[in-house]
Amino acid sequence: MKFVNIYKIIFAGFILSLFSFPRASAQPVPGLDENIPFLVTFGKEGDKSWGDFNFFQTWFFAIPKDFKERFYIRVFDPDTGGENDEQKGEWNTKMQYSVYGGKGVDPEKNEESRGITRTGDYKSGTLLSSRIFGVDPQYDNKYYTFGPFIATQGDYNERWKSYMFKIICDGISGDDGNLYRYFLSRDPNNDVPIEGANAFTYSYCFRMWNDIKSVSHVYPYIDTGIVYVKQRNFDWDDDGEILVVSRVRRGERVPVSGQNEWVESRIPIESGEVGSSLDFQFHKKQEYLVRNNNVIISLENQRGDAIKFFPAPIGGVPVYEAKPVYKQIKK
Amino acid sequence: MPRFLKYTLFIIVISIRVSSEASCQAPIFDVKPLSFNSPVFSDIAPVILKDGILFCSDRRTSSLSLITTFNDEHLYNIYFAARKDTSGWEKPRLISSAGSPVLYYGPLCLAPDGKTVYFTSGILTGKAAKKKTVINPRGIFIGELSGTSINNVRPFEYNNPKYSVAQPSISRDGKYLFFASDMPGGVGASDIYYCELINNKWGPPVNLGGKVNSKSSENYPFIHPSGRLYFSSDRPGGLGGLDIYYTILNNGTWEEPVLLPPQINSASDDFAFVAEESLQTGYFSSNRDKKNDNIFRFSSTIIRKVKCDTLQINSYEYEFYDENAMNFDTTLFRYEWDFGDDAQAEGVKVVHSFKGPGKYSIRLDVVNLVTKEVKKNEKTIDLKIKDVEQPYISCPEVCKIGKQIKLNADSTNLPGWNIKQYYWNFGDETVASGKEVNKAFIKSGNFNIQLIVTSLPDASGKVKEACVSKNINVIR
């Protein structure tokens, strides 16, 4: 319950900063609006059909240059084993969390840093902190805190007027699934958001709720110049429907992948969607419950550039605005 | 068939004839004699120029001499009267023909080049023309007008001493020359003919046939740029003496001539009609006032609006749709519309016909077929249906030639107007006034009817005016 109350406090902070593009308050990862229970990363011997493809996941945090205090990256349930994680056989998985700063981190300047695949220098930047977790009851269902850090340790991005940091969760061994969350915080022991900070990833691997009524969301930001996006989703197990919603799109169906397969499709972007976020809604199958469904989704634009997902959608959660109109039929 | 005449059939022209069927007829012409008309001599056959008119007159060329034939018939000369302003004229100047053997200068026309003049004169010249017993037939002569003189005069190739060929009128494209002639083979007395210019040579005269020509005399042809051929005839059925008629070539056939209205025609001789391109103004000759002929100017009082809205039929049928949904697949949603008049429909795009004007609140409910979520009354459209504010023409869209139809303006919707007049222009140069009028079209074709409504002056003296138009197809 305490956990929920903290989220409420954070949510109030979010509301205040929703309109401060490109910044938002996105300290919880996954975000509140996403309604995603956990991020998922499997050990590198994991079975892809269980929902992870690369066995690592990269997230970025942007710290406003004006933020002079120390900050922390808190990881909830960083270990494998225990309450939340997905066991395959015996618990045998080790996860390495590595925090990077300095030059080479900023994914807008260094494409390899985006961490979509293991190719290239996806661990670019200066390693600021790292720790390996295995079966570690001490951190099961609890936080581990990286830091303190200060903004200037990051890689400065002029466009965002922020310093970029990167955290990679790497399944260095084993085949179990690690379910976890991040929180960017001003406090090492509590989740206290940093105003104007942000988080994003280019390839989102997460756990769906074990509840057919729960709808999860991800919010890619449609930047200027995007004509269409190509979405790719992996291992959806045909679990319901993926709908794309925006201010001008009531809900358009996107092909859903089956077990251990990628499915991709192209989504033309309307002018009214540029400069705002899309809402990819994941509606679970209603006929029966697909349990422990781990999925991946990524987007790229018409030039093949990967598109960011923000846990706190830039510009706020896009709400479809019906525009009923009428036209007189002339005789 | 002359091509230029085909092309000009549908040109909208103004004012010539008023419909006898109109309920309440306003006078459509203002007719006035020209100020330079001679009180004792004849002035006839005007030709419109940019800066004045050419005309023929048998007035004295000097105070000392009056040229006549041996039969005491006055000889005509050509004069030019320059226009001073909209109503005034300068003193006419004689157009001379130094060195020309012709003695008589009669009705004429000017070719499109503005220089070549076709005029009427006696064919015989010199001593032969001076014999008392000789009858000098008229012929057409061609010369070049330069200033106030006609030079290089030469005869028209179809002049013939055995009959007259006279009163030329050339088409705007210069390819057709109309004239009057009593040549053998005609319908009777003098007939109207035309020649076509082929390879720079006038082809043989063609009689316009029995509809235009009659056993009586037809003369003074005038081919207007619109394709209308005006002429004079003393045939039965007119108002007396020579009367002015017009005809037009329709599908290769000259139509039944139409008698011009009383303001133009009279019980006396009325002839030599010419009109400006707009047909709003023009001239004709008549001896209605005195024994001698005079030139009269006419101007139309028919109102025909250049800008007139097309009649909008009141429609209570509306299409509804979610504009933002039109570019996307909407199969995952069910759109439920409630039109506020106890009618509903389903669909992204629906059409509904309301019973009539009124206020309607249209509600859209959307059911998400994936989540089963229903968004009730997502947005409401407040629709106010009103009849179009306009004068309204109620009449059939098709009618038969000669059959009387009723037209009314009962459905006119001009709130706040204190209407003074309903004025109808039927598009066939006939007009009427009244809220309800009767009309019988005497020709087939498509006609554009205008209804012009004017209000009484309001408190500030302002008069409002609105015009709508509607097409009617008159069939045989």
Examine the pLDDT at B131 and tell me if it is beyond 80: no
B383 → closest Cβ in A248, A326, A330: A326
Please tell me whether residues B235 and B293 are part of one structural domain: yes
Q: What residue numbers bound the domain in which B36 lies?
A: 3-300
- Asked if residue A267 lies in contact with residue A229, where contact means CB atoms within 8 angstroms, the answer is yes
Residue A4 is classified by DSSP as: H
* Cβ–Cβ gap A324/B378 under 8 Å: yes
Q: What is the DSSP string of B64-82?
A: S---B-TT-PBPPEEEEEE
Parallel/antiparallel/unpaired status of strands B374-385 and A94-101: unpaired
More confident position, B326 or A184 = A184
Please tell me whether residues B85 and B72 are part of one structural domain: yes
**Number of structural domains chain B divides into:** 3
For chain B positions 294-313, those within 8 Å of chain A (CB to CB) are 312-313
Examine the pLDDT at B19 and tell me if it is beyond 60: no
The residue length of chain B stands at 476
- Asked if residue B260 lies in contact with residue B273, where contact means CB atoms within 8 angstroms, the answer is yes
Interface test with B, best of A326, A330, A331 (most B CBs within 10 A): A326
| 3-state SS, residue B17 | coil
Candidates A238, A308, A246; CA nearest to A281 is A246
In angstroms, what CA-CA distances link B330 with A68, A218, B284, B333? Answer: 49, 21, 73, 6
Interface test with B, best of A278, A280, A284, A328 (most B CBs within 10 A): A328
In angstroms, what CA-CA distances link A329 with A83, A326, B313, B314, B392? Answer: 63, 9, 10, 10, 19
Q: Which residues of A84-116 are buried (b: 16+ CB within 10 A; e: fewer)?
A: bbbebeebbbbbebbbbbbebbbbbbbeebbbb
Using CA atoms, how far apart are residues A152 and A105, in angstroms rounded to an integer? 13
Q: What is the DSSP string of B126-185?
A: HHHHH-TT----EEEEEEEEETTEEEEEEE-TT-BTTB-EEEEEE-TTS-EEEEEE--TT
Residue B397 in tokens: 């869209």
Return the residue matching tokens 């002569």: B141
* Cβ–Cβ gap A327/B319 under 8 Å: yes
B309 lies in some domain: no
Q: Which amino acid is at B243?
A: D
- Minimal-distance CA residue of chain A relative to B388: A330
CATH number, domain with residue B355: 2.60.40.10
B272 lies in some domain: yes
Candidates B211, B222, B212; CA nearest to B279 is B222
Examine the pLDDT at B313 and tell me if it is beyond 70: yes
**C-beta atoms surrounding B444 within 10 Å:** 15
Interface of A with B (CB under 8 A): 215, 240-241, 243, 248-253, 270, 272, 283, 320-331
**What is the reported pLDDT for B4?**
42
B285 lies in some domain: yes
Q: For B346-394, write each residue's pLDDT tens digit.
A: 999 999 999 999 999 999 998 888 778 888 877 889 999 999 999 999 9
**What is the reported pLDDT for A68?**
94
B305 lies in some domain: no
* Cβ–Cβ gap B319/A329 under 8 Å: yes
Please tell me whether residues B201 and B183 are part of one structural domain: yes
Q: What is the DSSP string of B185-234?
A: TSSSSSEEEEEEEETTEE---EE--TTT--SS-EEEEEE-TTSEEEEEE-
Q: Which residues pair with B346 in a beta bridge?
A: B336
Q: Which amino acid is at A118?
A: R
**Maximum Cα interatomic distance, chain B, rounded to a whole number of Å:** 115
Residue A140 in tokens: 């099961």
ipTM of the complex: 0.71
* Cβ–Cβ gap A243/B332 under 8 Å: yes
Q: For B276-304, write each residue's pLDDT tens digit.
A: 987 889 999 999 987 789 999 999 888 87
- Which long-range CB contacts under 8 A does B240-245 form with residues at least 24 apart? B240/B266, B240/B267, B240/B268, B241/B266, B241/B267, B241/B268, B241/B269, B241/B270, B241/B287, B242/B217, B242/B269, B242/B270, B242/B271, B243/B270, B244/B270, B244/B271, B244/B273, B244/B284
Q: Which residues of B264-281 are buried (b: 16+ CB within 10 A; e: fewer)?
A: bbbebbbbbbbbeeebbb
- pLDDT tens-digit profile, chain A (331 residues): 344 444 444 444 343 333 333 444 448 999 999 999 999 999 999 998 888 888 999 999 999 999 999 999 999 999 999 889 999 999 999 999 999 999 999 999 999 999 888 888 899 999 999 999 999 999 999 999 998 999 999 999 998 899 999 999 999 999 999 999 999 999 999 999 999 999 999 999 999 999 998 999 999 999 999 999 999 999 888 888 899 999 989 888 899 999 888 999 999 999 999 999 999 999 998 889 989 999 999 999 999 999 999 999 998 999 888 888 999 998 7
Contacting residues of B for A215, CB less than 8 Å apart: 371
B351 → closest Cβ in A215, A321, A329: A329
B306 lies in some domain: no
- Minimal-distance CA residue of chain B relative to A321: B324
**What is the reported pLDDT for B258?**
87
Contacting residues of A for B323, CB less than 8 Å apart: 323-325
| 3-state SS, residue A115 | coil
Please tell me whether residues B161 and B13 are part of one structural domain: yes
Parallel/antiparallel/unpaired status of strands B465-475 and B398-400: parallel
Please tell me whether residues B379 and B429 are part of one structural domain: no
Q: Which residues of B408-441 are buried (b: 16+ CB within 10 A; e: fewer)?
A: bbeebebeebebeebbbbbbbbbbbebbebebbb
B193 lies in some domain: yes
Q: Which amino acid is at B354?
A: F
Q: What is the 3-state secondary structure (H, E, C) of A203-262?
A: EEEEECCCCCCCEEEECEEECCCCCEEEEEEECCCCCCEEEEECCCCCCEEECCCCCCCE
The mean per-residue pLDDT over the stretch B160-171 comes to 94
**What is the reported pLDDT for B325?**
83
Candidates B301, B308, B313; CA nearest to B264 is B301
Residue A51 in tokens: 């929902």
Does B354 contact chain A (CB < 8 Å)? no
Residue B187 in tokens: 């319908």
Domain termination site, one of B277, B300, B323: B300
Q: Which residues of B11-22 are buried (b: 16+ CB within 10 A; e: fewer)?
A: eebbbbbbbebb
Round the CA-based radius of gyration of chain B to a whole number and report it: 31
For chain B positions 23-82, those within 8 Å of chain A (CB to CB) are none
Parallel/antiparallel/unpaired status of strands B309-310 and B465-475: parallel
A327 → closest Cβ in B318, B330, B379: B318
Residue A153 in tokens: 């340790």
- Asked if residue A41 lies in contact with residue A181, where contact means CB atoms within 8 angstroms, the answer is no
Identify how many contiguous H helices and E strands chain A contains and give both numbers.
1, 22
* Cβ–Cβ gap B323/A326 under 8 Å: no
Please tell me whether residues B149 and B215 are part of one structural domain: yes
- Alpha carbons within 13 A on the beta-carbon side of A217: 23
- Domains of chain A by residue range: 2-301
As a whole-number percent, the residues of chain B with pLDDT over 70 amount to 87
Please tell me whether residues B436 and B419 are part of one structural domain: yes
B307 lies in some domain: no
Please tell me whether residues B376 and B262 are part of one structural domain: no
Domain termination site, one of B246, B265, B300: B300
**What is the reported pLDDT for B104?**
66
Q: Which residues pair with B194 in a beta bridge?
A: B178, B206
Using CA atoms, how far apart are residues A130 and A153, in angstroms rounded to an integer? 15
More confident position, B233 or B85 = B233
B310 lies in some domain: no
Burial of A34 (0-12, 13-18, 19+ CB in 10 A): buried
Look at phi and psi of residue A304 and say left if phi exceeds 0, alpha if psi is from -120 to 50, else beta.
left
* Cβ–Cβ gap A322/B378 under 8 Å: yes
The mean per-residue pLDDT over the stretch B401-430 comes to 93
Examine the pLDDT at B261 and tell me if it is beyond 80: yes
Using CA atoms, how far apart are residues B474 and B476, in angstroms rounded to an integer? 7
B381 → closest Cβ in A321, A324, A328: A324
Please tell me whether residues B261 and B355 are part of one structural domain: no
Candidates B305, B306, B365, B315; CA nearest to B339 is B365
Please tell me whether residues B105 and B246 are part of one structural domain: yes
Using CA atoms, how far apart are residues B64 and A301, in angstroms rounded to an integer? 103
- Minimal-distance CA residue of chain B relative to A242: B370
**What is the reported pLDDT for B27?**
56
CATH number, domain with residue B112: 2.115.10.20
- Asked if residue B338 lies in contact with residue B320, where contact means CB atoms within 8 angstroms, the answer is no
Examine the pLDDT at B8 and tell me if it is beyond 80: no
Q: For B73-122, write each residue's pLDDT tens digit.
A: 567 888 999 988 766 899 999 887 655 555 567 899 999 999 999 999 88
Using CA atoms, how far apart are residues B404 and B439, in angstroms rounded to an integer? 5
Q: Which residues pair with A252 in a beta bridge?
A: A244
Please tell me whether residues B262 and B127 are part of one structural domain: yes
* Cβ–Cβ gap B362/A331 under 8 Å: no
B371 → closest Cβ in A248, A283, A324: A283
Chain-wide mean pLDDT for chain B? Answer: 86
Domain termination site, one of B300, B330, B351: B300
Please tell me whether residues B259 and B359 are part of one structural domain: no
